[in-house]
Amino acid sequence: MPDQSKSSFLEELRWRGFLEAATSDNLDGFLNVATRTMYVGFDPSADSLHLGSLIPVMALAHAQRHGHRPLVLVGGGTGLIGDPSGKSAERNLLTEDTTKENALAIRRQLSRFFDLASDDRGLMLNNADWLCSLNLLEFLRDIGKHFSVNEMIKRDSVRTRLEERDHGISYTEFSYMLLQAYDFLHLSRHWDCTIQMGGSDQWGNILSGRELIRRIDGKISEGITFPLLTTSTGRKFGKTEEGAVWLDAKRTSPYQMYQYWLQTADADVVRYLKLFTFLGQEAIAELETDVLERPNERKGQKVLAAECTGVVHGKDAVESVEAASRILFGQWDATPSPDVVATLAREVPSSRIPRPELETGVPTIDALVKTGLAESKSAARKLIDAGGVYLNNIRVTADRKTITSADVVWPNAMLLRAGKKNYHLVLVG
C-alpha cells in the first residue's frame, strides 16, 4: 500500500466525493498533527456487508493508506435493541452469538480492503462489550444528564418522526442517540479515537458524541459525513430487484456483482470510479473522456466492474467472469469447449437436470420456474407470450414447447434466458 502523507487524506476524500460535511473547517490541521484513529459503525444483522456499506469501507481504506488508523465498530450491542420502527422481526431476534459470528464474517470481508491484522494498523471492536454491562442508573446519571431533551427533539430525524402522521418514535429509539454518543466517548477514552465518520444521516449522532466527549473529558474530536448515494435514476444504490448486492459470494455471485457494476448508468460511472476504486485522478480523467466521447464502448463501466469485483473477489474471479460475460453478451458460441461451459457453470446461476428426465421431456414453463427465472407458472406463461424466453439463444415461441435431449446443443448443457440479461445454465446429467 502506498505511503502517503497524513494530511492529504482529507484532500483525497474531497476530490473523490466522499465529503458531505465535516465538524471543523480546520480538519486538515487536525489530521496533520498525528496519526488519528477514526471509526465507522457497522450493523452486524447479517453475515455479510453489501454495496450500501461500501462508501464508509472505502473511506476507512483511504484513511489507512494515508497513515491513519481505521476502527470498525460493530453494533452488536445496539443491534440487540434493534430499530423499533423497523418491521423486521428478524432484527429484533438477533442474539449475541449471531452478532459475534456475523462480526467475524464481516471482518474477513473488510480485510480485503484494509489491514486489520494488528491493532496499531487497524482494529475492529464490538460495542456489545461495553454496552451490555451498562448500569441504567449510572448511565442516566453520568451520560443522560448531558443531553437536553429540548435539543434532542429539535433533531431533524426526531422532529420528522414527531410531526409525521403515521410514524411515532418510541422511547427506545429516542435513546439510541445516547448510546451512540456513549460509544464515541468509550472509543475516545480507550482507543484514542478522535474522529467518527458515517452517512449524512449520522450527522446528529456524531455531533452528540463529540459534544459528550467535550463536556465530560474536555477533549476535542471531529466528525465527517458522507453523501447519501442515489443513482441518477433515483434508485437506491446497491440494490437490485432481487435485493441488496452482497459482498459474500454465496449471496451474490461474482458474476452478479460484476454485472451490477457493468450496468451503471453513464451519468454515474465517473462518480463511482472515484468512490469505489483506488484508481488515481489521471486514470479516472482518462476514463471520463472515454465515457463522454465513446459511451457505447462503456469502458468506464468495464473498468469499474473489474476493479470493484476484483477487490472483493480477487483477480481470478474477474477474469473468469469477464470470459463468461463475453460468451453471453458477445458472440454466441454454437460449439463451445467444455472449458467454456465449465466457466459459465461457475459464474452464471446454474442447476442440474437428470438426463432421464429429459428423455420424457420437460415443459419450458416448468424449467423457468425451477430455475427461478420465473416466479410462478402463470408468470412463466406470460413471459413466453411476451416473447421474453430464449433457449440456446433462440426465442421460444408461444407454442407449448417441451425441452428434450435434442435441445442439448452444448456439451451437457443448455442455456435458458429470460429477458435480456437473466441467464441460467442448465447442466445435464
Partner RNA sequence: GGACAGGUGGCCGAGCGGCUAAUGGCAACAGACUGUAAAUCUGUCGCUCUCCGGAGCUACGGAGGUUCGAAUCCUCCCCUGUCCA
Q: Which residues bind RNA (CB under 7 A)?
A: 162, 165-169, 233, 235, 241, 259, 262-263, 265-266, 295-296, 298, 301, 325, 329, 369, 375-379, 381-383, 386-388, 418-422
Least distance to RNA from the beta carbon of 91, Å? Answer: 16
Least distance to RNA from the beta carbon of 268, Å? Answer: 9
C-alpha torsion 45→238→259→378, nearest 10: 80
**In the complex with RNA, which residue's Cβ is closer, 29 or 419?**
419
- What is the CB neighbour count within 10 angstroms for residue 201? 12
Least distance to RNA from the beta carbon of 262, Å? Answer: 5
What's the first-to-final CA gap in the chain, in angstroms? 47
Least distance to RNA from the beta carbon of 278, Å? Answer: 23
What distances in angstroms separate CA 161 from CA 64, 78, 158, 169, one per listed residue? 37, 20, 5, 6
**In the complex with RNA, which residue's Cβ is closer, 29 or 295?**
295
Least distance to RNA from the beta carbon of 203, Å? Answer: 23
**In the complex with RNA, which residue's Cβ is closer, 12 or 347?**
347
Q: How far apart, in whole angstroms, are the C-alpha atoms of residue 184 and residue 188?
A: 6
Least distance to RNA from the beta carbon of 297, Å? Answer: 8
- What is the CB neighbour count within 10 angstroms for residue 360? 9
Q: Quick one: CA dihedral 230, 231, 235, 241, positive or negative?
A: negative
Cell of 175: 435513546
**In the complex with RNA, which residue's Cβ is closer, 6 or 381?**
381
**In the complex with RNA, which residue's Cβ is closer, 146 or 299?**
299
Least distance to RNA from the beta carbon of 327, Å? Answer: 10
**Phi/psi of residue 351, each to 5°?**
-145, 170
Per the CB < 8 A criterion, the answer to whether 292 and 257 are in contact is no
**In the complex with RNA, which residue's Cβ is closer, 47 or 268?**
268
**In the complex with RNA, which residue's Cβ is closer, 269 or 312?**
269
Per the CB < 8 A criterion, the answer to whether 56 and 38 are in contact is no
Q: How far apart, in whole angstroms, are the C-alpha atoms of residue 96 and residue 79?
A: 9
Cell of 240: 437490485
